[in-house]
Amino acid sequence: MRKIVGNGIILAVGIVFAAMLIAGCEEQNVSNAKSDIKKSRLEAFEKNTQLKKELKQLNAKLERRNREIEKQKGLLDKCLQEKAALEKNMEEGVDEQWNSIITIIMDENAKQRKEIDKLKKEIEELKHPDPKRKVGG
């Protein structure tokens, strides 16, 4: 009976030892799982922080580009206005030059017509001299 009791005690101690060992492993597994969750959360937080930083930088870059685009649009509008003004001035200048040339030509034509009329009169007088008029004077 002693042997049975001794074997029973050894068996009981072995069972208790095995139970403690299993409980310790489970606690370590639970601890590892909690540690893994904390590690994952920390990694996610760091990644989130990094992404927020990158997003902030990209938004700042986008804002700078938008300001540059607006500046370029302003310059383009100014250039288009200057171009329109130059075209208008050029057209007015061409019109003025044409008007000036036409005026000169018309004045010259009028002078030449008077000269032609005068010369025609002289030719007529030479062809048909007026007897009342003295020639050679």
pLDDT in tens, 89-109: 888 888 888 888 999 999 999
Give the chain as a 3 state SS string.
CHHHHHHHHHHHHHHHHHHHHHHHHHHHHHHHHHHHHHHHHHHHHHHHHHHHHHHHHHHHHHHHHHHHHHHHHHHHHHHHHHHHHHHHHHHHHHHHHHHHHHHHHHHHHHHHHHHHHHHHHHHHHHHCCCCCCCCCC
Kindly list the domain boundaries of the chain, sorted by start residue. 37-127
> pLDDT band for position 137 (50/70/90)?
very low
pLDDT in tens, 67-91: 999 999 999 999 999 999 999 888 8
